[in-house]
Amino acid sequence: MEGSEVLHLGNHAKVGVFGGWQLNGQSVIDDAFNKPTNPVRISAHLSDPLAAVPVPPAGTVRSNQAVNYDMNNRPPGNTLQPGVYCGGLTVNNTGGVSFRMAAGTYIIAGGGLRIQSQARIDATAGVTIYNTSASASHTWGCGGTSSFAPVAIDGQAMLTMKAPVDGPLTGIAFFEDRDPAVTGSSPTAHPNKIVGGASTTIDGALYFKNTQLQFSGTNSSDGYMVIVADMVQINGNSKFGNNYSSLGSSNYFAPQSTGGGLTE
């Protein structure tokens, strides 16, 4: 963490670290009593807390080539539909209009997802974005292959997103392919970025198991936010919540007496 941000831990939460941490500038982690505190060292290597989340099945192929939407090239009814986007999906300046993402799973089969410039996206209907590649062994129904690329939300983009509240992808907003052969062997080779002047509100998990997430700008959560990544870099004015009440008890984040689950 760097800059002058404060990570405030309510509800007796703590930050656990396997490895190291670095707090630069005037950044600070404080406890429920507003007193500075350090992360807790974890001596044993943690397993993937979201290992049980299933890979989504292939859906309807929406495009066999990279798609680029903006105010001059709008989706029908200003609404994107779930399915497979071969070669990537980019949304640039929407001219002050919000493009909606209909509920469902959006599979980015190569090319990555970019929400940039002055794009406005409303993905509050219950959306999961699965980022992968289109390869010879798994084409996702695409007509050819397309290499993996990261997620980039930056510029003056505005994204408001809520993950599904039921089904196998309950609570999962962004889901990156777990296979390091897809994402690359280096966590910094394809860094995901939710940065810049973007104003982003996400209720859901940001799951980038093998890569880096650069998380900064004005980002927040109305209810809950969970990050799983190989490396996390946080700065700016970011807020995390842990109110999972919208999901019920059968979700990946609810405290559990046995098995997995993230606890407060």
Give the residue-averaged pLDDT of 116-123: 94
- What does the DSSP assignment read for 209-244? EEEEEEE-SEEE-SSBEEEEEEEEEEBSEE---B--
Identify the DSSP state of 74: P
Q: What is the pLDDT of residue 172?
A: 96
Residue 262 CB contacts under 8 Å (≥ 6 apart), including other chains: 49, 226, 252, 253, 255
pLDDT at 16 over 80: yes
Q: What is the pLDDT of residue 255?
A: 60
Mean pLDDT of the chain, nearest integer? 88
**Cβ count near 28 (within 10 Å):** 16
Q: What does residue 81 show for φ and ψ, rounded to 5 degrees?
A: -115, 145
Can you read off the two tokens belonging to residue 52?
């049980």
CA distance 43 to 63: 47
Give the residue-averaged pLDDT of 121-139: 96
pLDDT at 77 over 70: yes
Give the residue-averaged pLDDT of 10-28: 82
Give percent of the chain with pLDDT exceeding 90: 54
**6, 198, 46, 204: which is closest to 120 by C-alpha?**
198
pLDDT at 259 over 70: no
Domain edges within the chain: 1-46, 59-244
Give percent of the chain with pLDDT exceeding 70: 92
pLDDT at 218 over 90: no
pLDDT at 153 over 70: yes
Q: What is the tens place of the pLDDT at every residue in 174-204?
A: 999 999 999 987 888 889 998 866 678 899 9
Give the residue-averaged pLDDT of 78-101: 97
- What does the DSSP assignment read for 115-141? E-TT-EEEETTTEEEEEE-B-SS--TT
pLDDT at 140 over 50: yes
Query: What is the SS3 assignment for 180?
Result: helix
Give the residue-averaged pLDDT of 245-263: 64
Can you read off the two tokens belonging to residue 63?
């495009």
Q: What is the pLDDT of residue 258?
A: 37
Q: Which residue has the higher pLDDT, 262 or 57?
A: 57
CA distance 107 to 110: 9
Neighbouring-strand partners of residue 85: 63, 108
CA distance 161 to 12: 27
The predicted model scores a pTM of 0.87
Out of 67-71, 75-79, 151-155, 217-221, least confident range: 217-221
Q: What is the pLDDT of residue 198?
A: 67
Give the residue-averaged pLDDT of 114-129: 96
Q: Which residue has the higher pLDDT, 42 or 103?
A: 103
**169, 149, 152, 174: which is closest to 226 by C-alpha?**
174
Q: Are strands 199-215 and 6-8 parallel, antiparallel or unpaired?
A: unpaired
Q: What is the pLDDT of residue 209?
A: 92
CA distance 141 to 144: 9
Give the residue-averaged pLDDT of 224-241: 81
Q: What is the pLDDT of residue 53?
A: 95
Angle, alpha carbons 206-171-68 (nearest 5°): 55
